[in-house]
Amino acid sequence: MGEEKLQTHVASICNDEELPPEFIRPENEQPRFTTFQGAPAEVPVVDFASENVVQSVYEASSKWGLFQIVNHSIPVEVIENLQRVGRQFFELSNEEKVSYGKDPDSNNIDGYGTKLRNGWVDHLFNKISPPSAVDYRFWPKNPPDYREVTEEYGKHLHEVVEKLLRWLSEGLGMAAEELKTAVGGEELVYNMKINYYPRCPRPEVALGVPAHTDLCALTVLVPNEILSNGKYKAVLHRSVVNKEKTRMSWPVFMEPPPNLEIGPLPTLLNEENPPKFKTKKFGDYAYCKLNKIPQ
């Protein structure tokens, strides 16, 4: 089914009470059976202004694999504008959104797509850094300030990521710049994805995105494992959907350049801590992970 026809199909079924069978997850994945019903889990909070920030980042990354950041210095209006232009894009007509569709003849994931057979979600991918990776053909021209707003967010996000990589490196007992260098330095790719989860008639049996771990070095999300030899966790997560309202999220995936060799850092290895993962080019690692090929 073509992008436009699939989008129209999704729009129509969102108004129905019936959910097509291809969207129903196996029982061991359905939220009605697998959602934790106890007290809400207390996710670690890392205060960027804290004197103990390195220890806080280390503990949250090694024990949980995720944490909430406060006092990160990204202005509220910058985040609000990012969310505004994202919402405005997904409110456009199907015809206009599809005009930014992915190139079917390329392995590049930039652009708009509907992959709802795999999950109840539409999405838009835009690489926002480094300049050599940015392809403005897939950046919406409507709303008119999409580029300005997104680049402003990217500028502030760089500062957050620089701090995180420095503190993650120091938490492992390494030099401050060692982890950043290991994931590509200034060539680290910032790959932004906007997820749009339409209203779903049966959210108890469907998922926006099935359970998975991200393949990138680091993910920053608006409301990894190989390099640290397993010390820092890649958290398993999924996205649920809602019957009454749409949901959106803005993750940015920090990905090493495809040809950069990634593996356990030699600094961390010894007889008591041998390598748990193979060293390979990031592009090869990503291909194997996405196609469920044993690493």
- Give catalytic residues, as residue numbers: 193, 212, 214, 237
Distance CA 144, CA 146 (A): 6
CA dihedral defined by 172, 176, 179, 184, rounded to 10 degrees?
180
- Give the pairing of strands 280-281 and 189-197: unpaired
Question: What tokens does 73 get?
Answer: 């210095």
Distance CA 117, CA 194 (A): 18
